[in-house]
Amino acid sequence: MPGPRVFDSGSTKPSPKDDDSFRNTLELLPFAILVTNQHGEIVLVNAASEKLFGSSRAELIGASADALVPGLREGTHDAVQYDAASGRALRAQSGSRDVFARRKEGTEFPAEVTINPLTSSRKALMLTVVIDRTERYELQRLTAAGALRTLTRGRIVF
């Protein structure tokens, strides 16, 4: 079952090839991708999302993105301007932010998220990229600890 149409070329005769190409591209990405509707419900994920969050596609589709990334939608719609007639996104403030995301079993991990509207869609959809930053933060912690040991020459300083 192909799932709901996500990408629409805007032509009078939508092409399933557009949707297939979009989905195939998302599958190739090494980062978790969540596509959500205007209510924050997940409508599309890639394989990296299943792996990162420890949930199957069936469990993720229809779930709230806020359950995976608490506070994800805060400020998102304020950053996007929509055309009132079509519901299509006109522009968005770009950028990423550091958050804590939650896996299926409840553990949290540091993540970087970037949220952008899918401007080619007739629906108001948002594409969220989630990158696990656990290793980066651990490396930063170890680097800082090593620098501290170097500064104190191995002595414990209170």
Contact 90, 82 (CB under 8 A): yes
Q: What is the pLDDT of residues 28-49, one digit of tens each?
A: 999 999 999 888 999 999 999 9
Residue 66 in any domain: the answer is: yes
Q: Say whether pLDDT at 52 is over 70.
A: yes
Residue 31 in any domain: the answer is: yes
Residue 36 in any domain: the answer is: yes
Residue 118 in any domain: the answer is: yes
The number of folded domains in the chain is: 1
pTM of the model: 0.71
Q: What is the pLDDT of residues 66-124, one digit of tens each?
A: 999 988 876 554 455 555 555 555 555 557 889 999 999 999 999 999 998 886 556 78
Give the residue numbers spanning the domain of 32. Answer: 16-133
Task: Check residue 16 and give its pLDDT.
Answer: 66
Contact 42, 34 (CB under 8 A): yes
Mean pLDDT over residues 18-25, rounded? 87
Contact 23, 4 (CB under 8 A): no
Residue 93 in any domain: the answer is: yes
- The CATH number of the domain holding residue 86 is 3.30.450.20
